């Protein structure tokens, strides 16, 4: 079944069917005739043909660093909520935290008639990223990183970590920190800086052995907490860059006979659902990930339609105090 057959069955020209499918002007009588044939045959127009004809795919490429991340899933939920409502399909590209793969997908999306726009949830932004972005023929929005010169939606990680660290420092004087690689500006650099600034403001000295780096996993959080207990056994708080790292730290402390929050306080970032049911429940930062995803999608739609201009949006946050701190 193709457009020529639809036209013949409806008793109209091929051009009339084409206008109907592209929301052009068609008389009510002919519109009704075409609709009846389409409903009877179940005809679905070729997306590829439409893309060639209009130059639009009605597809948005979304590049994500990790498909099983609680924060990423909330951002994607916000993105799809907006894009589905305005008729765009979402093409997810998972990179498994591989920066080179992010660049590969950006280059893929640069090819003709792949997507109408891109949302990049990146962990890093290298010169290779910048070159690939510059070559994109379609609009792009960076999500969860503040990238100068790009339309972006990002979290206030610096102040969020200052505030959640301050909660632990109400009754802790020997805090430790488990961060992530600083190539990730938001989760790495900004969160570590926020921790250190909160300590400095309260006159708390942090030795180098109290600082370590983990991957974005529970297992890595456990391993780094174990390392801290070996190298800095006097610690009385562990501030973690993510909730997943904090879950690993909680497990390690329990297995080493340290009570939480009695002996050691623990904090995270992300406020994933499990943070409300782990024992003890986790003090953490609630970032509005779903809302930030929706905001990024709205900004991209505005850029694709020419109704908005590039801009930056810094999201708010909330510190959620639970039973892992005193």
Tokens at 113, concatenated? 């008639």
State the Cα–Cα distance between residues 164 and 90, nearest whole angstrom.
Answer: 35
Inform me whether the pLDDT recorded for 319 exceeds 90.
yes
Write down the domain spans for the chain. 3-45, 55-154+289-315, 157-287
Inform me whether the pLDDT recorded for 138 exceeds 90.
yes
Is 91 strand, coil or helix? strand
Give every CB contact of residue 255 below 8 A, 6+ residues apart in sequence.
Answer: none
The two counts, helices (H) then strands (E), for the chain are 12, 12
State the Cα–Cα distance between residues 92 and 75, nearest whole angstrom.
Answer: 12
Of the ranges 101-115, 156-170, 253-267, 312-326, which one carries the lowest mean pLDDT score? 101-115
Inform me whether the pLDDT recorded for 104 exceeds 60.
yes
The two domains 55-154+289-315 and 157-287 share their CATH topology (first three levels equal): yes
Q: Class assignment of domain 157-287?
A: alpha beta
Predicted pLDDT of residue 26: 87
Between 61 and 68, where is the model more confident?
Answer: 61
Q: In the beta sheet, which residues pair with residue 237?
A: 175, 265
CATH number for region 55-154+289-315: 3.40.50.2300
Q: Are 239 and 211 a contacting pair, CB within 8 Å?
A: no
Work out the mean pLDDT of the chain and round it to a whole number. 93
Band of pLDDT at residue 52, cut at 50, 70 and 90:
very low
pTM of this prediction exceeds 0.85 = no
Predicted pLDDT of residue 82: 96
Q: Are 91 and 60 a contacting pair, CB within 8 Å?
A: yes
Predicted pLDDT of residue 47: 53
Predicted pLDDT of residue 45: 67
User: The sheet that has 175-179: what strands, in order across it?
Assistant: 211-213, 175-179, 237-240, 265-267
């Amino acid at each position: 079944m193709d457009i020529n057959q639809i036209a013949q069955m409806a008793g109209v020209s091929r051009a009339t069917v084409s206008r109907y499918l592209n929301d052009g002007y068609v008389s009510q009588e002919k519109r009704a005739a075409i609709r009846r044939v389409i409903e009877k045959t179940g005809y679905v127009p070729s997306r590829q043909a439409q893309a060639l004809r209009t130059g639009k795919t009605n597809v948005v490429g979304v590049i994500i660093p990790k498909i099983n991340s609680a924060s990423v899933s909330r951002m994607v939920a916000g993105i799809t909520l907006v894009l589905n409502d305005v008729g765009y399909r979402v093409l997810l590209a998972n990179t498994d935290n591989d920066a080179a793969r992010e660049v590969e997908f950006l280059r893929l999306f640069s090819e003709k008639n792949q997507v109408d726009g891109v949302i990049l949830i990146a962990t890093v932004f290298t010169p290779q990223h910048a070159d690939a972005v510059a070559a994109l023929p379609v609009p792009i929005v960076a999500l969860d990183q503040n990238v100068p010169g790009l339309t972006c939606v990002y979290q206030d990680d610096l102040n969020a970590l200052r505030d959640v660290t301050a909660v632990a420092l109400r009754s802790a004087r020997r805090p430790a920190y488990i961060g992530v690689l600083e190539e990730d500006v938001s989760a790495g650099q900004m969160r570590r800086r926020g921790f250190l600034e909160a300590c400095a403001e309260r006159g708390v000295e942090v030795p180098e052995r109290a600082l370590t780096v983990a991957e974005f996993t529970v297992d890595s959080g456990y391993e780094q907490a174990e390392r801290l207990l070996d190298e800095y056994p006097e610690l009385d708080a562990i501030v973690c860059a993510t909730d997943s790292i904090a879950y690993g730290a909680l497990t390690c402390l329990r297995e080493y006979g340290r009570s939480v929050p009695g002996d050691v306080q623990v904090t995270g970032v992300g406020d994933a659902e499990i943070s409300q049911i782990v024992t003890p429940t986790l003090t953490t930062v609630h970032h509005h990930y779903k809302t930030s995803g929706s905001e990024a999608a709205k900004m991209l739609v505005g850029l694709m339609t020419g109704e908005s201009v590039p801009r930056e949006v810094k999201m708010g946050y909330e510190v959620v105090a639970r039973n892992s701190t005193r």
